[in-house]
Structure 1
Amino acid sequence: MSANLHGKVAIVTGVSNEGQVGQAVARALAARGASLAICARTEANVVARAAELKAEGANVIPVVASLTDEAQVKRLVDETLSALGRIDVVVNIAGGLSVYKPSAEVAVDEWTREVNNNVLSAFLVTRAAFPHMAKSGGGSIINFARAGNAQANMLPYNVAKAGVVALTRTFALEGKDAHIRVNAVAPGLVDTGSNVAMMQPKDTSNWAKRDEIADAVAFLSGDQSIGITGQVLEVTGWGYA
């Protein structure tokens, strides 16, 4: 049974390039009735994704923001409340893998960028949305971790996603009294254009699919998952993480 999200408002970050996870998640939530505020750093990209969603019947606003900047995160939350009235769901997708090289070759600025893009962004958005969700009776926050054990040549990303798990479980403990559920979806390797271009695999048939991940997010967004918090749901496709 598909999650019913009619009447709910969701913030989805990282909805930028076509063919990425953010686009799939936004489409899945909109198809189930949610109104959306989608966010990315590049205006042309997020506006294009919003136009696609509107053409499919979605109620959606695009917001341009760098989510490692506290003031811009506040603006994302304020614009969502102004346009859509409430916040019921937050999906922290922004971040991802951008440094793929042997650990000894990782520069400090690369390390800092990867950790901030994945952990700091999720922290700032969650912290900004938390009191508004509590005021309206609770909701669901879904972060993005990674499935399986650490993988070579991905040190900053591995560390960042471990941090996302700790962030998820801590906010889950602190959100119980306010009925705010906080979970993480942990994909294995995903068949996005950027992953394929960076890693140049010979075969992606066993990788997780974007729509599979989107369905997991939709489940955690709706009332069907009302008793689940502080958990990490792995979505690995038919292969290994």
Structure 2
Amino acid sequence: MCLSLVACTSSQSCHCRSGETRSGRGRITMRLEGKAAIITGVGHSGQAGFALAQAFAHEGAKLVICARNPERVKALAQQLKTEGATVIGVAADLTTEEGAKLLIDKAVEAYGSIDILVNLAGGLSKFGPSDELTLADWDHEINNNLRTAFLCIRAVWPIMRRQGSGKILNFSRAGGVEGSGAMMVAYNCAKAGVDALTRTFAHEGKKLGIYVNAIGPGLLITRTNLESMKPTPADLSTKWVSLDKLAEAAIFLVSSASDGVNGVILPVKGRNI
């Protein structure tokens, strides 16, 4: 436990007797020290995936970030390295078995083990009346949000089973948990599927030392969302979720602090939702 009572500035960190550090907000860090963590869907800075990567690195994790675009994932990995992270970038199409296998193989090659898998790949790409959705649009949403999570879990499962340990974190959404959200039927169904996927693998992993949980976030304060939705300051402060808050929930669910927590779909929302 940190015994230092010295307050740090936002640009500094103070060292604790245990070898941990205390952030500028007074929070003890290094909760993921030495853990090898894969985060998928890290395609843009200022978005959730990159924010999680930064937060995990700050807590001591060794990172593997993944996106489809090779140049983009290379640039983001380099940016994380300049911030002090241990990280490799992998470009892969996770809707394919080959892509998921490539990602897991690269992670094992780099670090020898995989302690954490965060399935963030996906997102909403089609918004409109349910009866006007094409089959191609349906398949796209299901593949990007549900198929990717399944393939990555299936690929990492034998490794975590041999280790006798592992933390898997999927991403649902508030609408997936509660069944709300009109005009995006395929996305909602995909995320409801992620919830079922989470609970099924949690049940199968509980005797193997593998914990599987999910986060159902509300509206996230990202650059893309701010530009497209233009929320009022009042809504931002009461209904939207900061990336810091999202990262704190994610760190809890992939760290030893959540040992014994299994099969949970954790809603992370604004305080007035």
TM range (shorter): over 0.9
Does residue 185 of structure 1 match 2:212? no
* Greater relative contact order, per chain length (Cα 8 Å cut-off, separation 6+): 1
One-letter amino acid of the structure 2 residue matched with residue 158 of structure 1: N
Give the gaps of 5 or more residues in structure 1. Answer: none
CA distance in 2 between partners of 1:119 and 1:149 (Å): 16
CA distance in 2 between partners of 1:110 and 1:12 (Å): 25
2:16: which partner in 1?
none
2:184: which partner in 1?
154
Contact 2:45–2:51 (8 Å) recurs in 1: no
Does residue 45 of structure 1 match 2:72? yes
CA deviation map 1:161-215 (0-9, x unaligned): 00000000000000011100000011011122333455x3443502111121111
Does residue 119 of structure 1 match 2:146? yes
Provide the alpha-carbon RMSD of the alignment: 1.4
TM-score by length of 2: 0.84
Q: What displacement does 1:105 show?
A: 2.0
Change (3 A) 1:100 1:5: same
1:227: which partner in 2?
260
CA distance in 2 between partners of 1:165 and 1:3 (Å): 29
What SS class does the counterpart of residue 177 from structure 1 fall into? coil
One-letter amino acid of the structure 2 residue matched with residue 19 of structure 1: G
TM-score by length of 1: 0.95
CA distance in 2 between partners of 1:2 and 1:153 (Å): 41
One-letter amino acid of the structure 2 residue matched with residue 128 of structure 1: A
2:251: which partner in 1?
218
One-letter amino acid of the structure 2 residue matched with residue 5 of structure 1: L
Describe how 1:2-81 pairs up with structure 2 within 5 A. Answer: 2=29, 4-81=31-108
Q: What displacement does 1:3 show?
A: 6.2
Contact 1:2–1:219 (8 Å) recurs in 2: no
CA distance in 1 between partners of 2:205 and 2:160 (Å): 10
Contact 1:3–1:219 (8 Å) recurs in 2: no
CA distance in 2 between partners of 1:239 and 1:146 (Å): 17
One-letter amino acid of the structure 2 residue matched with residue 179 of structure 1: G
1:237: which partner in 2?
270
Change (3 A) 1:62 1:175: same
Change (3 A) 1:107 1:239: farther
CA distance in 2 between partners of 1:202 and 1:176 (Å): 41
CA deviation map 1:213-235 (0-9, x unaligned): 11111111110000100001111
Tell me which structure has the larger Cα radius of gyration.
Answer: 2
Describe how 1:192-211 pairs up with structure 2 within 5 A. Answer: 192-198=222-228, 200-203=229-232, 204-205=235-236, 206-211=239-244
One-letter amino acid of the structure 2 residue matched with residue 216 of structure 1: A
CA deviation map 1:13-38 (0-9, x unaligned): 00011211000111111110010110
Contact 1:3–1:224 (8 Å) recurs in 2: no
Give the counterpart of 1:145 among 144, 148, 172: 172
One-letter amino acid of the structure 2 residue matched with residue 132 of structure 1: I
| Count of residues paired in the alignment | 239
- Percent identity between matched residues is 47
One-letter amino acid of the structure 1 residue matched with residue 218 of structure 2: G
One-letter amino acid of the structure 2 residue matched with residue 157 of structure 1: Y
One-letter amino acid of the structure 2 residue matched with residue 195 of structure 1: N
